[in-house]
């Protein structure tokens, strides 16, 4: 055998040695089978808000060492949070992972999606990505908090793609009750996740731009790992009406108002509604005045950025309305939810400094009450009617349509996207559960549907969805300039004070003898009217003297013991005599 034949794996006759080649191939295949199977790529999602509630939406996506946030909103307090101005998400998880956060994407400019941003940016300075109008509204928020020059704001538009670490996100235009709303197609090595944001399917939108259903369908054809979809109207059958129907109702009602002054209350963020009011007012030869800081800000930003078409000379300052007859005026105001400090409520109760209500007013409340606000709205309507005012409210005419999709639109979205996993978001438990049942009707497997709560963190891969350990989450209360300094103890005290009032026991004691030098004085606030209950106050004063004397006679002068004993004894006496439990606050001074 030649050396050349040996190198080429041939035998002495020059033929290839097939046996030797077979052995070599078998060894290679054995090595291949010993390799471990490739791990499935996973992406995780943490919910810091917007689950089991409507408001303070905030979602965190994580892949490897990269994270980004979708929305950062607020919620408005209910009656269980006396004195609290707003509620924002707990940012502990974001602060802990600050070095991993690549940015925040905002889907649209409503308060429940942008209202918490300024508070977040005070803790973690990260870039903000949003559409033109949303950026304009965010700038106003940041300016209030002196943050405008310190934050990177990046303007995006539908069909734009941005890269945040391992994520590539495409903006998809959707219809909502504010322009420039987008849904998101979130791409990473684990797959594609669609988050709709707040949306509805409006085939005749006021701004002429219909939701980009073809783009959602394209992603559905390619394959979508998960869909996170708006659940607000999941209980409502059918379709949400087009915003244009409201414009038609305004035409009818403005004619019915005849020579009366028209007052329209609407959500401060609904530019489409404001535009339609201005359009009808112009056609009827009326001037328009705007009341309410948030509404004035929206009109200014919308006009500057080209989202509101305001004919020259139609807007007038509220201080000039006295110069025009009633039949030439339309006033757009806040207060459609009966908020106690809103302009419409102040008008109804004769507390507004610039606008007085009269029987020659025609009031249109262009909104439906948010659950829980029905009584406040009813109170405002009743007060307006006491003034002899014509009031159009709720479903008397089509003066309001929702910005959220109803059942058939939600099912259409699922049918287009065809997700493997479905996660209903943005709603209370009843909304999430109903949306989940719609998913099952659309042939999504029940085990592939996740109904979460605030603080939940889940992991998604091509073959499973699983729950991870919860992350820090909850509510932070903002009261005036204080952020997070109002907790459960303070709120319990406020509730206690609001129910039964307070009794303050003030006494000055001689430290040497233990005798009472001054007092005890009994001060009552919110409990009983002292002048009409002198006997009760005298009984409390005598009891306080007796308790102090007994403790000092025992030669045990522990301040906390004296205060505790006073609190217990007076509280017991007050309950026996009145069946009420006011807060007891002893104040003892030793000289």
Which residue in the block uniquely carries the two structure tokens 């004919």?
A: 311
User: Catalytic site residues?
Assistant: 230, 404
Going by C-alpha positions, the residue among 419, 483, 423, 478 that lies closest to residue 456 is 423
| CA 182 – CA 200 distance, rounded (Å) | 11
pLDDT digits 0-9 by tens, 352-408: 999 999 999 999 999 888 766 788 889 999 999 999 999 998 776 778 889 999 999
φ and ψ of 59, to 5 deg: -130, 140
CA 254 to chain centre: 34
| CA 131 – CA 346 distance, rounded (Å) | 35
pTM exceeds 0.75, yes or no? yes
pLDDT digits 0-9 by tens, 124-180: 999 999 999 999 999 989 998 999 888 999 999 999 999 999 999 999 999 999 999
The interaxial angle of helices 293-305 and 132-144, nearest 10 deg, is 140
pLDDT digits 0-9 by tens, 21-44: 433 334 434 444 445 555 679 999
CA distances from 33 to 20, 37, 38, 422 (A): 21, 9, 12, 36
CB 48 within 8 A of CB 55: no
Work out the number of other CB atoms within 10 angstroms of the CB of residue 440: 13
Pairing label, strands 153-155, 191-195: unpaired
CB 266 within 8 A of CB 332: yes
pLDDT digits 0-9 by tens, 221-258: 999 999 999 999 999 999 999 998 898 899 999 999 99
CA distances from 238 to 207, 210, 375, 423 (A): 23, 18, 28, 21
Q: Cis link prior to 499 (omega < 30° from 0)?
A: no
Q: Which of the four pLDDT bands, split at 50, 70 and 90, describes residue 219? A: very high
Pairing label, strands 261-265, 329-333: parallel
CB 265 within 8 A of CB 364: yes
CB 410 within 8 A of CB 234: yes
CA angle 401, 274, 302 (to 5 degrees): 120
Instruction: Say what the pLDDT of residue 21 is.
Output: 40
| CA 229 – CA 210 distance, rounded (Å) | 18
Q: Which of the four pLDDT bands, split at 50, 70 and 90, describes residue 588? A: confident
**Secondary structure of residue 544 in the 3-state scheme:** helix
φ and ψ of 170, to 5 deg: -105, 135
**Secondary structure of residue 191 in the 3-state scheme:** strand
């Amino acid at each position: 055998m030649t050396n050349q034949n040996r190198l080429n794996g041939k035998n002495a006759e020059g033929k290839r040695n097939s046996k030797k080649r077979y052995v070599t191939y078998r060894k290679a295949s054995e090595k291949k089978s010993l390799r471990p199977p490739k791990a499935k790529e996973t992406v995780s999602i943490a919910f810091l808000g917007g689950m089991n509630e409507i408001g303070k939406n905030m979602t965190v996506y994580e892949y490897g060492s990269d994270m980004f946030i979708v929305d950062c909103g607020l919620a408005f307090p209910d009656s269980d949070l006396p004195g609290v101005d707003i509620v924002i998400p707990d940012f502990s998880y974001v602060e802990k992972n600050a070095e991993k956060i690549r940015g925040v994407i905002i889907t649209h400019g409503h308060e429940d999606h942008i209202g918490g941003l300024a508070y977040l940016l005070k803790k973690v300075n990260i870039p903000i990505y949003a559409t033109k109008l949303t950026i304009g509204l965010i700038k106003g928020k940041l300016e209030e908090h002196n943050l405008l020059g310190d934050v990177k704001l990046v303007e995006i538009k539908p069909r734009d793609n941005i890269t945040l670490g391992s994520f590539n996100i495409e903006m998809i235009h959707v219809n909502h009750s504010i322009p420039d709303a987008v849904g998101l197609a979130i791409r990473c090595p684990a797959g594609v996740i669609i988050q709709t944001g707040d949306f509805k399917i409006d085939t005749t939108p006021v701004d002429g731009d219909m939701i980009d259903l073809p783009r959602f369908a394209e992603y559905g054809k390619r394959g979508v790992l998960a869909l996170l979809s708006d659940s607000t109207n999941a209980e409502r059958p059918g379709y949400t009406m087009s915003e244009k129907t409201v414009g038609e109702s305004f035409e009818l009602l403005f004619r019915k108002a005849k020579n009366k002054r028209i007052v329209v209350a609407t959500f401060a963020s609904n530019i489409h509604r404001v535009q339609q009011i201005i359009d009808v007012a112009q056609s009827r030869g009326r001037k328009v005045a705007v009341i309410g800081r948030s509404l004035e800000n929206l009109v200014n930003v919308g006009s500057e950025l080209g989202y509101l078409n305001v004919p020259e000379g139609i807007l007038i300052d509220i201080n000039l309305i006295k110069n025009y007859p009633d039949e030439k005026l339309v006033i757009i105001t806040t207060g459609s939810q009966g908020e106690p400090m809103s302009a419409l409520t102040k008008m109804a109760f004769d507390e507004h400094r610039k606008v007085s209500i009269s029987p020659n007013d025609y009031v249109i409340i262009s909104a439906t009450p948010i659950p829980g606000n029905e009584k406040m709205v009813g109170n405002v309507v009743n007060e307006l009617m006491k003034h002899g005012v014509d009031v159009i409210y709720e479903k008397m005419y089509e003066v309001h349509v929702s910005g959220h999709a109803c059942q058939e639109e939600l099912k259409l979205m699922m049918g287009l996207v065809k997700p493997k996993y479905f996660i209903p978001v943005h709603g209370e438990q009843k909304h999430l559960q109903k949306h989940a049942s719609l998913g099952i009707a659309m042939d999504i497997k029940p085990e592939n549907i996740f109904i979460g709560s605030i603080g939940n963190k889940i992991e998604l891969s091509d073959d499973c969805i699983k729950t991870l350990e919860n992350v820090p989450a909850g509510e932070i209360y903002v009261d005036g300039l204080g952020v997070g300094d109002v907790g459960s103890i303070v709120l319990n005290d406020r509730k206690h004070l609001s129910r039964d009032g307070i009794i303050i026991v003030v006494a000055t004691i001689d430290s040497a003898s233990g005798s009472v030098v001054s007092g005890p004085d009994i001060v009552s606030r919110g409990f009983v009217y002292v002048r009409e209950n002198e006997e009760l106050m005298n009984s409390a004063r005598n009891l306080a003297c007796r308790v102090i004397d007994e403790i000092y006679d025992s030669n045990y002068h522990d301040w906390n013991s004296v205060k505790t004993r006073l609190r217990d004894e007076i509280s017991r006496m007050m309950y026996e005599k009145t069946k009420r439990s006011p807060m007891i606050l002893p104040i003892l001074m030793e000289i």
